[in-house]
Amino acid sequence: MESLQDAASLADLGRETREASRVLAALSPEQRTEAVEQMAVALEESVAEIVAANREDLAAAEAEGLSSALYARLKLDEAKLASEIAGVRSVGRLPDPVGRRQIRRELDTNLILTRMTCPVGVLGVIFESRPDAAIQISALAVKSGNGAVLKGGREAERTCRAIMTALRRGLAHSAAPAAALQLLTTREEIAQLLTLDRYVDLIIPRGSNAFVRYVQDNTRIPVLGHADGICHLYIDRAANLDRAVALAVDAKVQYAAACNAIETLLVHSAIAPTFLPAAAEALREQGVRLLADNRAAAYIRDAQIATDADWGTEYLDLVLTVKTVGSLQEAIDHINTFGSRHTDAIATEDAEAARNFLSLVDSAGVYHNASTRFADGFRYGFGAEVGISTQKMPPRGPVGLEGLVTYKYLLEGTGQIVADYAGSEARPFTHRDLEE
């Protein structure tokens, strides 16, 4: 990582990445795909170094008493690395997101407007623990023509260094500049990175809710991601009982620590007497602790009573709040008030109720008779996932490579001036969309 140590400051590193990203953006799709392949080759050649570095990180983590969950996420052995390298190659095979014509319009004879996708520029990616994130994000960045400045967790520092050394060596064997990928190693650099709006175009934070909120509150750079994932499943009065129970169990326990797992079950009071005892039993069998409002608690054996704060809490654990509602509208209002605009579902056999729910719930994902756990770029068929965004503006929801490109307008003329199209003798525009 010479260039990193030589960099007089983080701003220099930012400028260097910006310049490298411009070279990368100007490469052909074939050259960018080849650069991704060279990254995979270099990782293959460096398996021994990377695994050895990871063992050092693991030993240090053990000595510091890292939790077993974090330890598992930190671990990168031969098998996991092989699957990550296969992942790099599958990113290389994705359709190229750059250079797509979205608009091609004649404004007048020989005056052609084209809107074309292009890379965003430089990504700032901050992640915790999982060193494989460095591999995935680097592959996605290079495939989409973007430079990236990465900052991994301190506990993964040796592994990340070994990975980035390999990835940059791979780039050096391609037409892409090695400086397009950079690694930061100290925590202090995070705050500085967030101020580099001149050189960094998009921040992608991957970490705890509190961390993402810190990032959102401390930068002018657009942030792709989400803090909370407070997802709901609403059991309508017209729900099919068995399906509804299965959906509730899957949405809560299939992977409770995921952002798209539900935190709250809303139940129409008309179906509560039949649904709740069955659902509570099925959830209890999976080890789920239930916090219920008073009306719901009447149908749940040994239920704890939920407090107001529970409706806005993301447990990321086998805990589920349960609330009865008197109407579909009350369910929608609860979700729009306490939800985090991530993913919310309705279970019902009533098509009209489903239509209203999908129309009125203001979330990135609105589901009818499907588990919220489907909210994921791979399951949506995007091939790769950059993250899930709960911002209102696009990209929203699970974001694939598409979230790493923007567009620019190209106008190609033969000397046209606006004065000819203004005033009483104004020449009219044709505004004719051209076939490709």
- Told to check if 301 binds a copy of itself by CB under 8 A, we report no
One residue of 55, 100, 104, 243 binding a copy of itself per CB under 8 A:
243
- Told to check if 360 binds a copy of itself by CB under 8 A, we report yes
Q: Which of 292, 312, 344, 335 is nearest to 228 (CA)?
A: 312
Nearer to a copy of itself, 210 or 419 (CB): 419
- Told to check if 97 binds a copy of itself by CB under 8 A, we report no
Q: Which residues contact 28 (CB under 8 A, 6 or more apart)?
A: none
Are the beta carbons of 96 and 400 closer than 8 angstroms? Answer: no
- x/- string (CB under 8 A) for a copy of itself, residues 109-138? --x-x------xx-----------------
CA angle 237, 338, 371 (to 5 degrees): 50
Nearer to a copy of itself, 152 or 377 (CB): 377
CB of 334 to a copy of itself, least distance (A): 14
Nearer to a copy of itself, 64 or 425 (CB): 425
- Told to check if 303 binds a copy of itself by CB under 8 A, we report no
- Told to check if 283 binds a copy of itself by CB under 8 A, we report no
| Token pair listed for 261 | 């797992």
- How many other C-beta atoms can be found within 10 angstroms of the C-beta atom of residue 131? 30
- Told to check if 379 binds a copy of itself by CB under 8 A, we report yes
CB of 421 to a copy of itself, least distance (A): 7
Q: Which residues contact 59 (CB under 8 A, 6 or more apart)?
A: none
- Told to check if 241 binds a copy of itself by CB under 8 A, we report no
What SS3 class is residue 116? strand
| Residue 368: exposure state from Cβ atoms within 10 A (0-12, 13-18, ≥19) | middle
One residue of 5, 67, 68, 414 binding a copy of itself per CB under 8 A:
414
Rounded CA-CA distance 209/257 in Å is 12
Nearer to a copy of itself, 19 or 49 (CB): 19
Torsion, Cα 149 154 155 161, to 10 degrees, reads 40
Rounded CA-CA distance 87/40 in Å is 9
CB of 102 to a copy of itself, least distance (A): 10
Nearer to a copy of itself, 62 or 433 (CB): 433
One residue of 209, 269, 327, 369 binding a copy of itself per CB under 8 A:
369
Q: Which of 368, 375, 374 is nearest to 352 (CA)?
A: 368
Residue 268 belongs to what H/E stretch?
strand 262-268
Task: List the interface residues with a copy of itself, window 60-79 (CB under 8 A).
Answer: none
CB of 304 to a copy of itself, least distance (A): 26
- x/- string (CB under 8 A) for a copy of itself, residues 248-277? -xxx--xx----------------------
Nearer to a copy of itself, 107 or 270 (CB): 107
- Told to check if 319 binds a copy of itself by CB under 8 A, we report no
Nearer to a copy of itself, 25 or 181 (CB): 25
- Told to check if 363 binds a copy of itself by CB under 8 A, we report yes
- Told to check if 195 binds a copy of itself by CB under 8 A, we report no
Rounded CA-CA distance 302/322 in Å is 13
| Residue 289: exposure state from Cβ atoms within 10 A (0-12, 13-18, ≥19) | middle
- How many other C-beta atoms can be found within 10 angstroms of the C-beta atom of residue 330? 16
- Told to check if 285 binds a copy of itself by CB under 8 A, we report no
- Told to check if 418 binds a copy of itself by CB under 8 A, we report yes
- Told to check if 380 binds a copy of itself by CB under 8 A, we report yes
Rounded CA-CA distance 74/53 in Å is 11
Which span (38-46, 127-135, 183-191, 361-369) binds a copy of itself, by CB under 8 A? Answer: 361-369
- Told to check if 364 binds a copy of itself by CB under 8 A, we report yes
Which span (163-171, 274-282, 319-327, 403-411) binds a copy of itself, by CB under 8 A? Answer: 403-411
DSSP codes joined into one string, 147-167 = EEEEE--GGGHHHHHHHHHHH
What residue has token string 């919220």? 372
Backbone angles phi, psi at 185, to 5 degrees: -125, -10
